[in-house]
Amino acid sequence: MNQEYTDYYESNLKLLEKHHLQTFKQITEQSIKPVGNVFFSANGKPNLIVMSKHGNSVVLHDETDPEKDIDMFVKRIPREHQGFVGILGVGLGYGIEKILKERPLLQRLALFDLEPGIFIQAIRYMDFSEIFTDPRVILRIGSDIPINEAIYTAHTTIRLEDANILHHLPSFNSNLDGYNELKTELFSHLNVLNIEGTTTKLLGKDFINNRFQHISIIHHHRIIDQVENIFPGKPAILVAGGPSLDKNIHLLKQIQDKAVIIAADTVLPALLNNGVSPHFLTSIDPNNITFEKFADIVSNARDISLICASSVNLKTAKIFPADQVFWTFAAKPVESWLNGLLGGKFSTSGASTVAHLNLIAAKILGCDPIVFIGQDLAYPGTTSHATGTVLHGTAPSHTNGQKTEATMTMGVNGKMVCTDRGFLSMKSHFEDMIRNTQREYINATEGGAHIEGTRISTLQEVINTYCTETIYTGQFLKRHYETIPPLATENIPKAFKKLLETIQTINKKIKQADTITRSLLKGLITLKKNRKLIKSFNMLSSSQQQQVRKIDRFHSDLDNTGIIWHILEEVTRDGLKESERQKLAIAALEKKPSRYLDWLIQNLYRLMEINKVRKQASDLLADNLEMVLSFHEKEQLYRENIHRGIKKTENILNLVRLYVDSKNYYLAKPFLEELHQSMPESGEVYFLLGCTALQFNEHTDAKQYFENAVKHRPDIAGAVEKYRKTLGDEFFSFVQHFKMLPNRDASIKYTLRKGLLFCPSHKDLKKELENFLNTDLEKIKSLIDGNDYPAAAPLINEWHDHIIENNHMFGCISQELLKEIFLYHGKLKLSLQNYTMAIQSFKTALELSPGDSDLYFLIIDTYFVSEDFHGAIEAINHAITIDVKFAGYWETIGDQLREGGQHEDAITAYEKCFMYLPDKIGLIKKIGDCYMASGHLEAAKTAYEILKQKLEQMNPPDVTES
């Protein structure tokens, strides 16, 4: 139907030119034609019908009332949403204006429409003035603008705040494939930014601290530039820890010297268990808990070099016995700055996971082809990682239930496999890293997701084709390392001292700015209390205007203080987030002259909060700069004195103290071993040896060192306990970390048990472990009560075996709970007719609960079932000393002997029973019967007479007087 309408095209176009120039040029320079047919609903509102890519007609809005879309969009955005929302499919734009009005805290609203012709119709029939002039709006029309470019201005918001994607379903129906592709691309981009932002928010301070801790010892290490292109054209095998690794990990041993093996840190235990030692191990995670994924086997690691991100956790770089440590630096300002001081030129693209760092390393090494194994990026079942890896969760429950399109992707076997959005984001990152490079990439993962840009093959085929030449990888690396010159670190002290001077200047300006701000605020608040109407800057007094100008100058100077705020961006993000929120709220007052005073006061408070963040961040940086300079100064002094032979032993001890205090245990170890030879009776040296041994998980050695330390220095016992308690506290923090994550019971149990290995007396760890054990015992009891021993067996064996293998656990768990573990283990073995182990477990349980008569019965009965009468008799004799009721078993033995024709032995058994239980007069008859059967008639007669007397005594005859 035709209807008169207002044509908004020209007015909207002018606004586009002013506020969204790129979109304006796009639709004017490309001569885009309108798409679809406009019609008007009964209520007079325009609507649009278009043809889908599959030839179906699609109506973009409700046919009776197009405005229904307004509430549909608004209701799906929380009222307090302060982040980013992307809308896929705009249609004629219904609902957009209402979002902007009713969600004032929203910082960015991105509008995407794949069909420019629909957008032409929209700006002709609808008034977009409120939408186009709102600074929060981002437009992407068509499919030519890359996502990264389209939402570049929203990156900060996405990193700091929540991000959501809304779908306009009719638009999806018009171009399902296109919008699904757009959704995947946008989600992947948002996910990377949001993970980066969340990680930085949570760990920004750790990132800074970790980097400078590493810089303090980086002169002992190398940077990744120093192994550039040393393996041109040689195959690299990138090993990740997906569950499919179990299928081909055994093949790696045969190519140890025929390829470069680069492994993610989490997979190291699995590799070593299979006799494979990777040439490079990559590590990226800033949390010390990552080290525990391979801590148990660090003493077995040989000839392995580390490749680390600069913010990696401290334990990995300071404890792992690496052949060499190579540092990588991303393009972040702080990393670029540090890399430049070291003479580095490589800025890696940034690795979102350790698996991506594997790929970065292989490319820098010059390897070709690059082969992935264990890179599942999917869930083939309930397992999420390869056998031998630790501290990971189980596969999400949806992998075994309903599968949605959002969790499926194409697998290497040509079939759809179950995954999740995190893996899809990783997959997309791999594909971006592979795209437009000239090397060959092969996915030899035995199951899992297909990575575009890779050729699918088996690892055996790769070996047969590319790993035919022996290149002696390990030997080559050792020779190459000898040729690498030490890092040039002489620029660091000068640069750090200069930055410390800048921080002093900054702190002085912050103090001056805040002093003036507080003074100005006092005056402005007085004006407000007196209801003085101030509508503009010019209405302020001249002194107040001067104060505002000074504050602006100070903040301008602070904003432009060289590189320092770029270096500290990771620790100022929380402050930036709050500032951005405040700016959004304050901006609403700016256009209201009557609220000028409120606007100014709130802005001043915001500036003071910014200064607070600046001060905290600059102080953090100053502490780290001073730490590095102090460490270098002391280390250099001690090493020079050692080299010159000046008080050598004393200076070696000072150097060891410096290394242990800074947790550089790998550096300390060789010097400690030297001190051990020269100071064999030093309690302190033994103590430091014990501390270092614990860090390397050498618990037996640590125990001996600590005992010797206390032997030579009794006063050091408190220090030993304190050190163990510190390690226990760390593991308790790991436990709390895993408790906040889903499906991590195994990780919690692992860290509890391991923490108690370091500190058996730790009360919090013991309490948490007993809580876990109680829960597991309830499961075990329920299963055994239902006679489901096979289901109970894994839990029973897990607890039993751990306690047997770790003797200290007897002091960590209450005797009552320990008894339950061994009781159930005994019952499990009894169900399997393993009588020897059953009795052993029952006896251990009895030692833990000596008065438990039920355990005696179990032990004796098990001896009888196993036909071990000698064992049964010993057990009975012992049980009788606890309770004479156990003498009743002698009657059972007598009955068995009598049935076997051993009448004389049966008589002995009955007599023993009768001695303890004289009220069991039936035993006398059994004795008589045995005498009768063996031909001793007189003895039988005597027994029967005694029985008769006993019966008469029990039931005397009824005597009546005559």
Instruction: Give me the CATH number covering residue 929.
Output: 1.25.40.10
**151 lies in the same domain as 258:** no
Q: Is 540 contained in some domain?
A: yes
Helix (H, G, I), strand (E, B) or coil at 43: coil
Residue 567 domain boundaries: 491-627
Looking at 759, 774, 804, the residue that finishes a domain is: 759
Q: Give CA angle at 425 (268, 186), nearest 5°.
A: 165
**710 lies in the same domain as 854:** no
- pLDDT tens digits along 113-158: 999 999 999 999 999 999 999 989 999 898 876 777 778 777 777 7
Number of domains into which the chain is organized: 5
Q: How far apart are CA 586 and CA 581, in angstroms?
A: 9
**687 lies in the same domain as 707:** yes
Looking at residue 647, what is its pLDDT?
Answer: 95
Q: Is 206 contained in some domain?
A: no
Looking at residue 325, what is its pLDDT?
Answer: 96
**314 lies in the same domain as 380:** yes
Q: Is 632 contained in some domain?
A: no
Q: Is 636 contained in some domain?
A: no
**786 lies in the same domain as 770:** yes
Q: Is 207 contained in some domain?
A: no
What are the φ/ψ torsions at residue 354 (nearest 5 degrees)?
Answer: -65, -30
Residue 308, beta-bridge partner list: 283, 327
Q: How far apart are CA 112 and CA 102, in angstroms?
A: 20
Query: Which of 592, 663, 669 has the alpha carbon at shortest distance from 209?
Result: 663
**506 lies in the same domain as 463:** no
Residue pair 656/675 in contact (Cβ under 8 Å)? The answer is yes
Looking at 759, 782, 816, the residue that finishes a domain is: 759
Looking at 737, 759, 781, the residue that finishes a domain is: 759
**476 lies in the same domain as 498:** no
What are the φ/ψ torsions at residue 503 (nearest 5 degrees)?
Answer: -65, -40
Q: How far apart are CA 278 and CA 809, in angstroms?
A: 34
Contacts of 856 (CB under 8 A, 6+ apart): 846, 875, 879, 882, 883, 886
Residue 573 scores a pLDDT above 80: no
**741 lies in the same domain as 829:** no
Question: Which helix (H) or strand (E) is 56 found in, with range?
Answer: none
Q: How far apart are CA 892 and CA 897, in angstroms?
A: 9
- Measured CA to CA in angstroms, residue 715 lies from 191, 305, 676, 704 at distances of 54, 40, 20, 17
Q: How far apart are CA 196 and CA 949, in angstroms?
A: 95
Which residue type sits at 775? T
- pLDDT tens digits along 159-201: 667 788 888 888 888 888 888 888 877 876 676 665 444 444 4
Would the pTM count as exceeding 0.85?
no
**28 lies in the same domain as 129:** yes
Q: Is 1 contained in some domain?
A: no
Residue 399 scores a pLDDT above 50: no
**393 lies in the same domain as 535:** no
Q: Give CA angle at 768 (707, 736), nearest 5°.
A: 100
What are the φ/ψ torsions at residue 37 (nearest 5 degrees)?
Answer: -115, 125
**657 lies in the same domain as 601:** no
**694 lies in the same domain as 573:** no
Q: How far apart are CA 41 and CA 29, in angstroms?
A: 33
Other residues' Cβ atoms within 10 Å of the Cβ of residue 249: 24
Q: Is 212 contained in some domain?
A: no
Q: Is 213 contained in some domain?
A: no
pLDDT above 90 as % of the chain: 52
- Measured CA to CA in angstroms, residue 41 lies from 45, 64, 300 at distances of 5, 6, 76
Locate 812 and state its tokens: 């960590």
Other residues' Cβ atoms within 10 Å of the Cβ of residue 811: 10
- pLDDT tens digits along 902-945: 888 888 888 888 888 888 888 888 888 998 988 888 888 988 88
Helices of type H across 323-419: 333-341, 354-365
Helices of type H across 900-936: 903-916, 922-933
Q: Quick one: angle between helices 717-739 and 763-785, nearest 10?
A: 50
Q: Is the peptide bond before 369 cis (omega within 30 degrees of 0)?
A: yes
What are the φ/ψ torsions at residue 807 (nearest 5 degrees)?
Answer: -60, -30
